[in-house]
Structure 1
């Protein structure tokens, strides 16, 4: 595939249309979130773990599930807000309707809508959509990684060539999360070792790494739906995604996404001493 692409057309026949659907469905879910974004009457509830959730989270996930069920009724669908919908096919979808709900609630446009697809238990494709900015990065195994800032024109996405941690941009979601898991010293090591530290986190942080604007994104605590899209996106853009032990998994409870060149050095910093 060339450095520019019409994703939905080029991917229309792959995996019986699932790759093209990945993009279309994510955009539709993102549009649902925008209907509630920066609305003064937004009601915020608390889940069992005290994390916030809104009507936008629930409606966007329901939209995703409805669209996928209509087109691929035999596929399994998992998400953050509702119980898993089991299917008999070899495909599994994972949706996080709003990754960065706190940002969403505060009116910060860096929240993301995430959708990922697995085939036979292996990561196949994923998209990080930033609905409020019309930005997205999407990838599928063997098909490349592509970025857009208008949801129309897609260009090849590539990680940075940075090989010196001392010149690197390190991003994360919340500094206090390191302390929550008892690893505030890990944050201090990363901050001290890198050139610039910013909390451009959640899915947006991984988009920054995949497009070469940041060099490493670190999640001290995460769920599968937070990072299910990251393996294909970072792999196809030339980077790496693993847990803090160096295992390529979305179910390790933590995440490290880098440009690849810095991965081993970053692993040394995140591993507890």
Structure 2
């Protein structure tokens, strides 16, 4: 039964409402560094960028969760997993889209997921620089809010043909990095519009019906753990490229559901 996030306070011992509050706090903290002069950008071992904003936002998430739910596990992009004894795990990507962030582009997000017994049961995609947020919890629906406006139900599009669809992804050369150039070319050719409005923002577009498919050729759990419940509760589908319902398959894609099998077939056919 769908219910607004403002009514989630008593569910899972307060974890669902905390999920929304923590994601907002972390995302808002990133704004203290966004477009700041002299922001230092470091390179991680995989050459992806990281900043003080990434680290501070994740530390804030970990601190807020530990204070309220000390027995829970916390997994994040920037620091080692903290293993707890409860059945709950939090998965955080403090800045999903750091390349956008360091360029001063507002299409980055803070992602936070809540898992129970290894299954995602809640997720938040928060775009602090745009003031947009989508939150979802299993059985409670997906909800979208713009700054200063009331919550509204988030819902995927009803497009049934790829020729009418909007295809988004994060970085085109990531298809080549996994030997899937042909998959990208097939999708680009089949869809009406292709854009690289990717990362968490791309999935937010799918969840709110503005795009129809978002594809990640390479991803980690923190990139998509929050995504699965959002897409599913908005009426869509999220799987790995093998069609498995997992956020730990090393890749993933979300669609409006109607197009999922067609996209899956192209990804399988166009990959090494």
**Structure 1 residue 52 corresponds to structure 2 residue 49:** yes
What is the alpha-carbon distance in structure 1 between the residues aligned to residue 222 and residue 148 of structure 2? 23
Other-structure match for 1:204? 201
What is the alpha-carbon distance in structure 2 between the residues aligned to residue 207 and residue 87 of structure 1? 30
**Structure 1 residue 193 corresponds to structure 2 residue 190:** yes
Is this contact kept in 1: 2:135–2:142, CA < 8 A? yes
Other-structure match for 1:83? 80
Moved over 4 A (4+): none
Shift of residue 153, structure 1, vs aligned partner: 2.0
What is the alpha-carbon distance in structure 2 between the residues aligned to residue 56 and residue 2 of structure 1? 34
Other-structure match for 2:254? 257
Is this contact kept in 2: 1:136–1:151, CA < 8 A? no
What is the alpha-carbon distance in structure 1 between the residues aligned to residue 46 and residue 95 of structure 2? 17
Is this contact kept in 1: 2:2–2:141, CA < 8 A? no
Is this contact kept in 1: 2:2–2:139, CA < 8 A? no
Unmatched segments (≥5 aa) in structure 2: none
What is the alpha-carbon distance in structure 2 between the residues aligned to residue 152 and residue 95 of structure 1? 26
- Which secondary structure does the structure 1 equivalent of 2:129 belong to? helix
What is the alpha-carbon distance in structure 2 between the residues aligned to residue 140 and residue 17 of structure 1? 13
Shift of residue 182, structure 1, vs aligned partner: 1.3
Is this contact kept in 1: 2:221–2:247, CA < 8 A? yes
Other-structure match for 2:179? 182
Q: TM-score, with normalisation over the residues of structure 2?
A: 0.97
Shift of residue 151, structure 1, vs aligned partner: 6.3
Other-structure match for 1:17? 14
Other-structure match for 1:28? 25
Other-structure match for 1:38? 35
* TM-superposition CA deviations, 1:206-262 (whole Å, max 9, x none): 000000000000000000000001111111100000001110100011111000000
What is the alpha-carbon distance in structure 2 between the residues aligned to residue 89 and residue 151 of structure 1? 36
- Which secondary structure does the structure 2 equivalent of 1:38 belong to? coil
The 3 A distance-change label for structure 1 pair 151 and 255 is: farther
What is the alpha-carbon distance in structure 2 between the residues aligned to residue 91 and residue 232 of structure 1? 15
* TM-superposition CA deviations, 1:31-62 (whole Å, max 9, x none): 11000000121000011111110000000000
**Structure 1 residue 111 corresponds to structure 2 residue 108:** yes
- Which secondary structure does the structure 2 equivalent of 1:137 belong to? strand
Q: TM-score, with normalisation over the residues of structure 1?
A: 0.97
Could you say what the CA RMSD is over the residues aligned between the two structures, in angstroms?
1.1
**Structure 1 residue 246 corresponds to structure 2 residue 243:** yes
What is the alpha-carbon distance in structure 1 between the residues aligned to residue 210 and residue 171 of structure 2? 19
What is the alpha-carbon distance in structure 2 between the residues aligned to residue 111 and residue 24 of structure 1? 18
* TM-superposition CA deviations, 1:141-179 (whole Å, max 9, x none): 001000001166211000000001111000000001111
